Amino acid sequence: MGRGCNAIGVTQTLERRVEELEKKVAELGGQPVHPIRKKDPWRTFGIFRSDADFEAAAKLGRDYRRQQTYDKELAGP
């Protein structure tokens, strides 16, 4: 008899969850859908042209990479 009561409780829980999900789907169905925009790499081409901060950051990156490579090669194993 205990198993029958548990099945009824599970069924009621599932029914309640399905009702909640159906309400949520109905709410979402009324909202406008935004199309997924594909990224276009050409839109960002040249945006850092003549930007002193970008050039300084790029130089620091190049210097760091050179230092890491040369120091490790000179130090040896």
The answer to whether residues 54 and 48 touch, using CB atoms and an 8 Å cutoff, is: yes
**Residue 40 resides in a domain:** no
Q: b vs e for 18-44, b when ≥16 Cβ sit within 10 Å of the residue's Cβ? A: eeeeeeeeeeeeeeeeeeeeeeeeeee
What six digits make up the tokens of 51? 């930007």
Domain limits at 22?
2-31+49-75
Query: Is 43 within the bounds of a domain?
Result: no
The dihedral formed by the CA atoms of 27, 30, 36 and 37, expressed in degrees to the nearest 10: -130
Domain membership flag for residue 16:
yes
Per-residue pLDDT reduced to its tens digit, 32-77: 777 777 778 777 788 888 999 999 999 999 998 888 876 666 666 5
Above 60 in pLDDT, residue 1?
A: no
Asked, for residue 11, whether it belongs to a domain, the answer is: yes
State the total domains in the chain: 1
20 pLDDT more than 90:
yes
Q: 2-19 pLDDT, tens per residue?
A: 555 688 888 889 999 999
* Domain membership flag for residue 69: yes
Q: What is the pTM of this model?
A: 0.37
